[in-house]
Amino acid sequence: ETGVTQSPTHLIKTRGQQVTLRCSSQSGHNTVSWYQQALGQGPQFIFQYYREEENGRGNFPPRFSGLQFPNYSSELNVNALELDDSALYLCASGPWGRDTQYFGPGTRLTVL
């Protein structure tokens, strides 16, 4: 059984650019959530996807958007990057209706 995978591992962008991060859910999981973890903080919920639709959103602006594909893989897109977007971005998957979410290793995004 393959766990949650994310790509790329690291990424460096400049202010104003756009970035796409990718996630493959664990087999059998039909929800995917994205979290942002700033240095010294706990992960912060960005949004969740279920059945290819956004199913809940945290306190993040619309320039953070996402997609879920029929095979339950997912993308996180961030437009007009700002310096404060520098963080570890975590993808988590889980079965609908269960409390536990399983995390991938994360993508470290640095915005210069």
Tell me the site size for another protein, rule CB under 8 A. 29
CB of 16 to another protein, least distance (A): 28
- The two tokens of residue 100 are 């536990």
Q: Alpha-carbon distance 20 to 8, whole Å?
A: 9
- The two tokens of residue 10 are 């690291």
CB of 15 to another protein, least distance (A): 26
Q: Tell which positions 71-100 bind another protein, by CB under 8 A.
A: 90, 92, 96-100
Q: Alpha-carbon distance 86 to 33, whole Å?
A: 19
- The two tokens of residue 74 are 């997912």
Mask: binding to another protein, 29-58, rule CB under 8 A, as x and -?
A: ----x-x----xxxxxx--x-x----xxxx
The maximal CA–CA distance of the chain, rounded, in angstroms, is 39
CB of 37 to another protein, least distance (A): 8
Amino acid at 67: L
Interacting residues with another protein (CB under 8 A) = 4, 6, 33, 35, 40-45, 48, 50, 55-58, 90, 92, 96-106
